[in-house]
Amino acid sequence: MFFREKSGAVSWLLVCLGNPGIKYKNTRHNVGFHAADALEKRCGAKFDRLKCRALTGSVTLGGEKVLVMKPQTMMNLSGQAVQEAARFYKVPPERVLVICDDVSLSVGRMRLRTGGSAGGHNGLKDIIQRLGSSDFPRIKIGVGEKPRPEYDLADWVLGRPTQKEWETIEAVIQRALDAAECLIEEGADKAMSRYN
């Protein structure tokens, strides 16, 4: 894998979802932010430029120039940053790749899709609403289902995984980054058959 700075226009957005602020660091809902952090380490880049309501930086993935985004709105308003960047760079929804947490997947699982509903994820819901389309790829990383039906979902996603769960999630994040590059370089069908 080669991650180099590439001149020219951004052709993809890689949107890594989370909530800004120390209060939310290392919560289940911030798995997307952790994916961006892992990509920084992997490619030696910095995603620290504030643009379009997000911390951003550009890298080359799969031969394409990609703007990596960590929206700095709250999760439920993530679409604001995505909408601004998609308009500014003239990137269509099918080239907006989102990485986020998923409570319907067990820890250690990952799912790549080319579109669909928000599945109860408010960050995805806002992106769908603001882009006016649900036809954008997303990589969902499992953070486990809440332990009991009566357990508050917000408390669950804003809670912190155990150390052992984090180790598993971190391994899945590396796989998710591989899947992201494969999707950009070889297309969704190849990426889904290889990584789902």
Active site residues: 29
CA distance 149 to 190: 36
Mind spelling out the 3-state secondary structure of 129-158?
HHHCCCCCCEEEEECCCCCCCCCCHHHHHC
CA distance 145 to 143: 7
Give the CB-side neighbour count of residue 111, counting CA atoms within 13 A: 15
* Terminal alpha carbon distance of the chain: 20
